[in-house]
Each structure stands twice: as structure tokens, then as C-alpha cells.
Structure 1
């Protein structure tokens, strides 16, 4: 088994900012490797995001939207990036209401994970929504979403068809499966 040790840590000796956008920034770091050599690391900085597994009568709320980087429509759970200084649970509640119109009486943490730790620092927080109350959706002006409640079997089919192919939604489906088997996330 590998042991975590400072001997394997990379020390940053220089950072070159490349791009600063609305959602991400890109930098190239020069690092000193164990043994003394240097290397470069391209790093995407992201403020983090929150996502919600919302179940209504054993159906999962999802949104379908066009994803330009993939050039296709995707079915995903409600999610969005954190605003500066925003609590992830507050962001999850905000995104659920904006995208689906539902408000959660309670949110419970399921998991938090890094989406692509090889080059990005984005951390995504996944919550389970409970005590849902229907309201009006208010998507951002540049969001065009179709909201649907799907069965577990539909979710599995959409994964096979790659209509669901993002990590957060796939993790939510697996958490839902665990919940269906054990009553716990």
C-alpha cells in the first residue's frame, strides 16, 4: 500500500495565469518534483458546484439541456456553480428551485467529490432533497431546460444510451439505487 508522505509532494515554484473567465480560470504552474526535476502542470480553477438528488414518489427530478462542449443534449440532476463565498447547501437549494421550481424543506449531504483532480480543483457537493414543495422554476436567462421526473429504470436506460453520462448524475443514480435497497444514502 502506498503511504502518504511529503516526499512525493510537488512544490510550486512558479505560476503563470493564462485565462480568467466567468466560470473558470486557467494557470500553468511550474513544480519541483521529488528528486529535484521540474515539470509544468496546467490547472483549471473552478469555484465548486452543488447538485441535488430530488425524489418525488420514487421518481428522480432531472433537467435536459444542450451541452455545448459535448455538442449534445444531456439529462442531468439540478446543479450549478457556487457563487463567491456561497455555502454549498444554499447553492443546492437555489439551483433546485431555479431549475425545477421545487423547494426542499430539508437537504441532506450525500457526498462531495472532485470532478477531475488531474487538472481541475472543482469540488462538487451532492445533496438529497426532502419534503419537496412545488413552485415556479426560474432558470437563468441563458438556460433552456426541460424538467422531467424519471423512474429508476428510465435512469438506467438513459445511462446505457449515454443520455445520462456526467459523473454527478450517475453518482446520484447509484445513490438512489443504494437508497432503494437500504433506505439510506
Structure 2
């Protein structure tokens, strides 16, 4: 059953920081109910995340500081798509910046949204194979720790305490399915 979308009567900026703008939306639903929702203002920029796999059958992860959890988290290379850049070009660039490898084979897995009630940005998940060494300067404030994890032990990675970022877990599970490992 397809429902009629709510009518947006107004959109008001309620808070702004260097990184985020929060909007308030006055809505009315087809059944007459009225609500005020808040969301992050759509930026129009999307992101990518890559599950890189070496020819030796290792996953390459990065451990980097996450301000939200105030600790170092283990996850896959990821980042924003630059204006005019394709998702696959951004994925390859992020690999070069974060782990020092490019890849010749990128397989798209799925486009996902994190918390669609609050965010509109999409992230395209990829598997990256046929890696070759190439390093680009990234925008991280410190050198990222690169962690090799055997693909054969991917099930253990899913339950590892430092590997908790939902998009990385989703990407790994989809990669395992595409690779026939699950």
C-alpha cells in the first residue's frame, strides 16, 4: 500500500554548527495529524565505504578516532564523494588515502541510509579487489592504523568489540554474501 506523503508547510533552521544544520519541518499527514519533525539539513553529498580484500585473502581495515564514541573504532575505509566525482572514483580515492592502495575491481554492494528519519545522505558500499599500492594524502589528523584481518575469520570480526560501526558490519555481511562466503 502506497501512502500519500505528508505535506510540508514550513522548513525552519533551528541550529547550526560548522558541520551540521538542523531543520524543523511542520508537517500535516493525510489523516489530519500534524507534527513537527527535526532532521539534519540535506547536504546533497553522499559517501562511500569499501571492503578491501588483498590477494592473500585479508580484509584491510582502519582504526581511527571517532568523536561520537570517544574511542578508536575499527572499520573499513570510507569518506564523502567530492563534487563532480563518481561513487567508484571516490571509493578508489578513499582507499588510496586511508590504506595506501587503489583497486582495479570495485563491486557495488548496496546503497544504504543511516537513520533515514534524521538524515538523507546515502552511502554506497563496495567490495574492492585486485589491490595495488598507491598512496594519496588524506585529510585525517593522524596516521591511521591499518589492520589486516583474514577473510576466513570474518565471522569473528563481526562480533569483535572494536568493530561496531553499523555500516561496516552491513558492508562485510553483504560482501560475504557476494563472495559466496556465507
TM-score (norm 2): 0.87
Q: Is the 8 A contact 1:77 1:169 kept in 2?
A: yes
TM-score (normalised: structure 1) = 0.85
Offset, 1:126? 0.7
Which runs of structure 2 are paired with 1:31-180 in the superposition (5 Å)? 31-44=27-40, 45-46=42-43, 47-56=45-54, 57-152=56-151, 154-180=153-179
Displacement of 1:141 in angstroms is 4.5
In the alignment, structure 1 residue 12 sits paired with structure 2 residue 41: no
The DSSP-based 3-state class of the residue aligned with 1:73 is strand
Unaligned regions of 5+ residues in structure 2, if any? none
Looking at structure 2, the residues matched to 137 and 166 of structure 1 have their Cα atoms a distance apart, in angstroms, of: 25
Greater alpha carbon shift after TM alignment, 42-51 vs 114-123: 42-51
Note the aligned Cα RMSD (angstroms). Answer: 2.2
The answer to whether the Cα contact below 8 Å between 1:101 and 1:138 also exists between their aligned partners in 2 is no
Give the match for residue 25 of structure 2. Answer: 29
Q: Report the number of matched residues.
A: 179
Deviation per residue, 1:32-63 (Å, 9 max, x gap):
12222321111113422101111012111110
Say which is worse superposed, 174-183 or 74-83, in terms of deviation: 174-183
Deviation at 1:103, TM superposition (A): 0.8
- Quick one: structure 1 residues 53 and 100, their matched pair in 2 at CA, closer, same or farther if it must change by over 3 Å? same
Unmatched runs of 5 consecutive residues or more in structure 1: none
Query: Aligned partners of 2:65 and 2:30: how far apart in 1?
Result: 43
Task: Using the TM superposition, name which of 65-74 and 139-148 deviates more.
Answer: 139-148
**Quick check: 2:103–2:131 contact (8 Å CA) kept in 1?**
yes
- C-alpha offsets along residues 67-121 of structure 1, whole Å, 9 cap, x if unaligned? 0111111111000022234322221111111001101123221110111112111
How far has the Cα of 1:144 moved from its partner?
3.7
Write the distance in 1 (CA, Å) between the matches of 2:13 and 2:123.
24
Query: How far is 1:23 from its partner?
Result: 4.3
